[in-house]
């Protein structure tokens, strides 16, 4: 599969989403990475499980420098498994469900890592619950025929990962701002939930 066909397939699977800006840059990187992986018979499921494995490693060792790398690798592998599925022509509803389920499970381990480095349990719970509700609303809208809500909220998965990354680095440097970062996550996540709720209502009421 050449790059243009890859772009076209990705766009089709995402409700005709435009490929430009940051999205285009990421897809170009993703295509370049997964192309050789496809040639050596790596499967999308292997990448999905690798992302989960690094999330578990993050949870186990959140107070170390490698924790930041574990988080980056978890997010990275979770991000390219779908691209490999496209190139290998292995996309399916079951695969999409599995990928989404593992993504949510990985985020649980991210949140547990944040808790282990000192984030208040209540803030972590609220932020994670709001994040899961946001993703549920997006998935539910898709199940009702709206593949894309046409909205990128202020707290999508990469942003959530970035906040936890900052918390991990700050903790290793003995900067006591984990609670502050957790509060910022809650505020941003609640705002994102409001955004997605309003967007879902508008789309589904048409």
CATH of the domain at 53: 1.20.120.1760
Residue 150 clears pLDDT 60, i.e. is over it? no
Domain count, the chain: 1
Residue 205 clears pLDDT 90, i.e. is over it? no
The pLDDT value given to residue 26: 81
The pLDDT value given to residue 16: 64
Q: Which residue segment(s) compose the domain that 145 sits in? A: 3-204
> Range with the lowest mean pLDDT among 7-16, 71-80, 125-134, 191-200?
7-16
pTM of the entire predicted model: 0.86
Length of the chain: 206
What's the alpha-carbon Rg for the chain, to the nearest Å?
A: 17
For 58, the token pair is: 């993050």
Give per-residue pLDDT as tens, 94-111. Answer: 777 788 889 999 999 999
């Amino acid at each position: 599969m050449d790059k243009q066909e890859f772009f076209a397939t990705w766009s089709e699977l995402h409700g005709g989403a435009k490929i430009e800006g940051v999205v285009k840059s990421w897809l170009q990187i993703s295509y370049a990475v997964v192309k050789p992986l496809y040639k050596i018979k790596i499967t999308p499921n292997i990448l999905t499980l690798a992302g989960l494995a690094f999330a578990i490693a993050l949870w186990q060792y959140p107070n170390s420098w490698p924790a930041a790398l574990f988080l980056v690798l978890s997010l990275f592998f979770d991000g390219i498994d779908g691209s490999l599925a496209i190139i290998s022509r292995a996309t399916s509803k079951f695969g999409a469900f599995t990928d989404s389920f593992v993504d949510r499970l990985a985020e649980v381990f991210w949140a547990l890592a944040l808790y282990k480095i000192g984030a208040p349990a209540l803030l972590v719970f609220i932020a994670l619950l709001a994040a899961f509700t946001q993703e549920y609303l997006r998935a539910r809208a898709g199940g009702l025929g709206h593949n894309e809500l046409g909205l990128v909220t202020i707290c999508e998965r990469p942003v959530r990962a970035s906040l936890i990354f900052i918390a991990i680095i700050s903790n290793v440097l003995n900067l006591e701002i984990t609670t502050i970062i957790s509060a910022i996550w809650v505020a941003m996540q609640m705002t994102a939930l409001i955004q997605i709720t309003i967007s879902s209502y508008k789309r589904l009421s048409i």
